[in-house]
Amino acid sequence: MARGRRLRGTAALRRLVAQTRLAPADLILPLFVKEGIDEAAPVASMPGVAQHSLESLRKAANEAVASGVGGLLLFGIPAVKDGSGSQADAEQGIVNVALRALRSDLGDSTVLIADLCLCEYTDHGHCGVLRGDAVVDNDETLRRYAAIAVAQAAAGAHVVAPSGMMDGQIAAIRGALDSADRVEVPVLAYAAKYASAFYGPFREAAEGAPQFGDRAGYQMDPANSDEALREVAQDLAEGADAIIVKPAMPYLDIVSRVARAVDVPVAGYQVSGEFAMIEAATERGWIDRDRAILETITGIRRAGADIVITYWAAELARRLNS
């Protein structure tokens, strides 16, 4: 018998020699909080995921932290949207109210990460402020991102995570945080975020689908790999502290290339479409759900991700602890 087979003979042997290991602290759970609702509202395309009220968010967050997850990634859905996404940095905007509540509940026992974008807050659904010709105004959007970063940090975010893919966004955000005496707040950059078909269920959950056109003009082309390294290098030069590759599974080659190229933490985002496919296949009896969850997340870590952002974070953390 060959050496390889001898080391696979029992579950205990396989566990002993495993190269890739998962721990609850490697996992980040995305959470949605919606203004103006009294109880959690299930997201039809994402079984087990909900738009939370403030109170149900606090309960879900506390349960996730008790399971051992490494952090929480917060998305807000305001009751009123406008062209500038004014609720994103409003003191009483839903995400900032939620951040204050979670920081009060959890203190520094977990990492509260605020997604920093405008798509959930604008009435047109794009990730920035529009010019008169309905094209995103990059520089005006940077001014909005800077204000949002300061507001989120003041509300209690440990980390801000800009996801809009605007040119120069990290420099603008880092400069604004430093000027506001928030030098301790890291920037987790969605540096390699692709214009993907796998975001559909998220857009239902976050109510942030563009009302016209698409985001291919500012998100990355799925055909390109070298471009990801250029975007990552630029974000690091501007002050990013860690990097996200999004989506994860269709872009494991990008996760691997980025992880080899940088000396900062790399996160792979297992996005809503990846989640929904496995849940849908499970519902039809086509796949072993628990094995598929573990296999896909292990694959993201094996490709080089230090952190995995996944909607199964709390569930998997409980399994890993059992």
> Which tens digit of pLDDT belongs to each residue from 110-119?
999 999 998 8
Let me know if residue 2 belongs to a domain.
no
Per the CB < 8 A criterion, the answer to whether 15 and 313 are in contact is: no
What is this structure's pTM?
Answer: 0.95
The pLDDT tens digits of the residues spanning 109-159 come to 999 999 999 888 998 878 888 888 888 889 999 999 999 999 999 999 999
The domain spanning residue 309 has which CATH number?
3.20.20.70
67-83 b/e (C-beta count within 10 Å ≥ 16 → b)? bbbbbbbbbbbbeebee
How many domains does the chain contain in total?
A: 1
Let me know if residue 298 belongs to a domain.
yes
Let me know if residue 245 belongs to a domain.
yes
State how beta strands 307-309 and 111-116 pair: unpaired
Give the C-alpha separation, 191 to 163, whole Å. 8
Let me know if residue 6 belongs to a domain.
no
Structural domain of 37? 21-321
Torsion angle, alpha carbons of 143, 147, 153, 157, to 10: -70
Let me know if residue 13 belongs to a domain.
no
The pLDDT tens digits of the residues spanning 49-81 come to 999 999 999 999 999 999 999 999 999 999 999
- For 42, the token pair is 């299930």
Q: Active site includes 246?
A: yes
Let me know if residue 211 belongs to a domain.
yes
pLDDT at 4 over 80: no
- For 78, the token pair is 């305001």
156: left (phi > 0), else alpha (psi -120 to 50), else beta? left
Give the C-alpha separation, 28 to 250, whole Å. 19
Let me know if residue 168 belongs to a domain.
yes
Let me know if residue 173 belongs to a domain.
yes
- For 53, the token pair is 């009220």
Give the C-alpha separation, 52 to 38, whole Å. 9
Per the CB < 8 A criterion, the answer to whether 307 and 26 are in contact is: yes
The pLDDT tens digits of the residues spanning 246-305 come to 999 999 999 999 999 999 999 999 999 999 999 999 999 999 999 999 999 999 999 999
